[in-house]
Structure 1
């Protein structure tokens, strides 16, 4: 039987029930048997809440601009609903019996909870309650313990793949391990999250392919473990491949959640050098990996997807493969003019020199392969994804186009990455 913890928080009865309950709660909070309430208090309150939401939207989208995309209107509607509920409950605290006031506060908190549920459903962040509860778990393993130097490694003869010589050991663990570690380098980055698959923890140890994985902006490396359910999906992949799976290093390309150094070396930071030099060097020093470029993949969603394309064309000697899940057409802070001004002091030529679309128009990459994933209903980025696909194809890359139902959210990001693993396994020797 399906556990209540596994009921969807994205589709089905829970989001619908939350919306209906919120509407009923707001209706109850808004009704009072008082003429002044209807002619003065309620209209002023509603208009004030609408003005606050409109002002907040303007500040975020036009003044602060912490991310290049406009704030989704549905989220601001829910912010307005939550603000209205809290305001109505606060006004009710001034009169009525104590239990009526307590009930009003509980209803307002229920509307806030419904707003959070709606926001989660919009981005498909946590698929169920079990995923929410998992955020409180701490099953990380110290990397020094998880990645001890091997006493013996699997040798793969020339012309063979790892899968050709790999035999599932009797002592193969059921799951991989998760660790956190600082990766020093050209930028001040937050700790990376590292997934080591089951096969990494046996002797002899295979030299496994590597995926450097990036989250979106705003975001943290942990997002791929919470919203992305990375360990769960990679463990499932490993079970189908006798314990083999890529080593995943979820690196930080931002520095802070709201920063955007554009994955470039510019006035905004040295993100490109960090990802192209420092992170790979650290991985090769600390982990047992296949060091051939064709076994290295750069991947990510949204801002991280844009970065994956950038590193594929800016560091092709490091990354032989890329997976770009709903990335932007080019690195951006909103417009090209704003981007060039902030990153390069207005020097358009400096931006063109590092912009992947401009590089793809002039240079061929016959030894690079990639997957470009778009959301069918992603009105913001789908056309840009198509432009990138065509540019990569014309530049000689071996690229695949994948279009999935959904928009710019985890409904696309999760299956976009994990659906690309069979393709990647063939390229990196984990399957035939």
Structure 2
């Protein structure tokens, strides 16, 4: 009776999540549903046998239930690729963040780059430059209730005179948080490695919050669901320029994200091209979505299809051209949900005059694609933003 009862309970839970609550547009992965059922069965059997048998048998049952739980966590992590190493798991417990006032005091002098030149042409690595960058948290105020942003400053930010560095506004997926790019994305390790190969130079990376909460989805739009677009297109850039020493040219600004954050990156590339000259769309959706287009339009625009079409990126790309915008679109070869959508987005960007590149990597809709998708794009980005000759 235990197994059928647990199966029925898990099936009901999956139905409630996918069709009633619907916190994200994709259905729950089958592997997650199966392992949830296995853990529930193991827990129920262990609990039922706690009253029977001797203590060694009771302890064994508990241990076996914990083994099933551990196996479920390991299998789920392998599926999503969230923690690539055991060190990544342990780093969750560490706190290496630095107060932003300490990491980014006002610059006493700024390294100037001649008009039309590149930072890499005038940069000379100081002998006392730190080997690693810093990570800080900061509240970015605006008309959207966002969680604190996570900010990476490369070693070059500590130099005097300080260079004006390019900016990457980076977005996580949904469900998710800005911290995901540091835990699962290993952002600090990879950006420090990039900096070591470029005499301490790397972009300033601000992982902003486009969601508000882990399961919310305001669609990166200004709508009934919030003013997420204005926050990311106006409030966040204004704060960065006011608080940090950065290159303010649009060519030096990139917006990037994964999954829902990738969709958001594309949206900002076409809705705020005067701010973001570059974008990286990692496994993004075809369009902002809460499930179906009808559900999305109803929730965000009270059923007004024309209002949605005015801001939907594929509709914008069909009626406008963007010859000064460049981007990279990354898809997982095994991503049955979004790989075809990403191909459609790529073609629409090309047709609109963008300088776009297509990258297809082994993997599905997971961090095994998103990590290399971002970091393998850094040489391209460095050339565009002046970090390499």
Q: TM-score, normalised by structure 1?
A: 0.90
Note the C-alpha offset of 1:91.
Answer: 1.3
1:229 is matched with which residue? 186
Residue by residue over 1:106-151, the C-alpha shift from the partner in whole angstroms, topping out at 9 and shown as x without a partner, is 1101111111111111100001110000011111000011110111
Partner of 2:214: 257
Partner Cα distance (2:47, 2:119) in 1: 65
1:314-393 equivalences in 2 (<5 Å): 314-393=271-350
Moved over 3 A (4+): none
Q: How does 1:46-61 map to 2 (within 5 A)?
A: 46-61=3-18
Structure 2 SS opposite 1:374:
strand
Of residues 369, 373, 376, the one that matches 1:419 is 376
Give CA deviations for 1:369-413 in whole Å, capped at 9, x if unaligned.
000000000000000000000000000000000000000000000
Alignment partners' CA distance in 2, 1:55 and 1:211: 42
Inter-partner Cα distance in structure 2 for 1:272 and 1:288: 24
Aligned-partner SS, 2:162 = coil
Q: Deviations over 1:293-318 (max 9, x none)?
A: 00000000001000000000000000
Q: Tell me which residue corresponds to 1:13.
A: none
List runs of 5+ in structure 2 lacking aligned partners. Answer: none
Secondary structure of 1:400's aligned partner = strand
So what's the TM-score if we normalise by structure 2?
A: 1.00
Of residues 97, 104, 110, the one that matches 2:54 is: 97
- Aligned residue number for residue 259 of structure 2: 302
Instruction: String of CA shifts for 1:317-365, please: whole Å, max 9, x gaps.
Output: 0000000000000000000000000000000000000000000000000
How many Å apart are 1:422 and its aligned residue?
0.3
CA shift digits 1:220-266 (9 cap, x unpaired): 00000000000000000000000000000000000000000000000
42, 62, 69: which is aligned to 1:85?
A: 42
- In structure 1, the partner of 2:113 is 156
User: What SS does the corresponding residue of 2:327 show, helix, strand or coil?
Assistant: strand
Equivalent-residue separation in structure 2 for 1:50 and 1:372 (angstroms): 39
Aligned to 2:26: 69
Residue 159 of structure 1 and its aligned partner are, at CA, apart by: 2.1
* Alpha-carbon distance in 1 for matches of 2:97, 2:214: 22
Displacement of 1:93 after TM fit? 1.1
2:385, 2:142 → 1: CA distance? 27
Counterpart position of 2:72: 115
What CA distance in whole angstroms lies between the structure 2 residues aligned with 1:311 and 1:186?
A: 17
Q: Give the aligned partner of residue 40 of structure 1.
A: none
Say whether residues 1:216 and 2:173 are aligned partners.
yes
The one-character-per-residue Cα deviations of 1:40-80 (angstroms, maximum 9, x if unpaired) are xxxx1110010011001100000000000010001110001
Cα distance in 1 between the residues matched to 2:200 and 2:175: 33
Matches within 5 A, 1:236-315: 236-315=193-272
RMSD, aligned α-carbons: 0.5
Aligned counterpart, 1:401: 358
Q: Please state whether the residue corresponding to 2:83 is helix, strand or coil.
A: coil
User: For 1:118 and 1:192, how far apart are their aligned partners in 2?
Assistant: 30
Number of residue pairs the alignment of both structures matches: 389
Q: Does 1:410 align with 2:367?
A: yes
Distance 1:158 1:315 in 2: 24
DSSP-derived class of the 1:343 partner: helix
Q: CA deviation at 1:94?
A: 2.1
Aligned position for 1:171 = 128
